[in-house]
Amino acid sequence: MKILLLDKNHPLITEQLLAKNFILEEDFTSPYDEVCNKIENYDGIIIRSRIPLDQNFLEKAKNLKFIARVGAGMENIDIPVAEKLGIQLINSPEGNRDSVAEHVLGMLLLIMNRLFIASQEVKNGIWKREENRGDELLGKTVGLIGYGNMGKATARRLSGFGCKVIFYDILPGLSDEFATQVTFEELKKSSEVISLHIPLTSETHDLIDEVFIGEMKNDFYFVNTARGKNVETKSLVNALKSGKVKGACLDVLEYEKSSFEHLETENEDLKYLLDSENVIVTPHIAGWTHQSKEKLAQFIVDKIVASYC
């Protein structure tokens, strides 16, 4: 089988697939149109996020048997068209679930205990104790939206901090020893922390908006390591200003380019997030550890080999 690699990933992908007699070609720079013009020559494609695989692309991929996404999110693929054409879709959410879960905990500990603020103050000769009194995770009810690989890994860690973890998911019967499944209404009624672990779909676009925030019974901390467009930023900013959202931990932003490589928009809402003491912002790196890079690649290789060797 002939496979096209469109993004740089861990070298084990190339090493192990070559050892299994796959033919590999790399193209990390050609734009969309050039890749479209040659995609019919390949049986498989391995991607991250550089190029969208839309209907036009997929219809030109006349011999494509699989698309392998090194990561979890599949929103840059026209999934209904791929399924109609019989193209197998492969991803590897197992590979970065642990790094995402650790990132969630790290950001929450930073914001709730004012660690970044206090550290910067001391480095600038400012010594404040009462102003930097923290808020404990112990005893908090944490509501997870989505209970797949990322949600489960996060719940496992939160349970070790003495939190009560509840979650909402569209699939039934997912409760386990770390978290209890509840209705969406119960989640909004009980949660003191909300953390997103969902894909970006038409149903989850702007899921966190003015209505959702208004229906939250408690003032709450908010964490997003999923997709920036799951959140209506203006509503989040207004809730931060009012105090309804006590602090926000954002690894993803509504204004990211689709490739996740940089921000493509600047406005007053973004400026507020970047300037606020009550917001932690990181550059889409929750799943981005040295260990996850290798694990993401290994899961992809194992799934390709299991299907085509």
Active site residues: 227, 256, 284
Do residues 276 and 238 make contact, with C-beta atoms less than 8 angstroms apart? no
Cα–Cα distance measured from residue 157 to residue 178, given in angstroms and rounded to the nearest whole number: 9
Cα–Cα distance measured from residue 272 to residue 233, given in angstroms and rounded to the nearest whole number: 10
Do residues 106 and 129 make contact, with C-beta atoms less than 8 angstroms apart? no
Do residues 215 and 172 make contact, with C-beta atoms less than 8 angstroms apart? no
Phi/psi at 104 (5° precision): -55, -50
Amino acid at 300: I
Q: Are strands 193-196 and 44-47 parallel, antiparallel or unpaired?
A: unpaired
What are 119's strand-pairing partners?
A: none
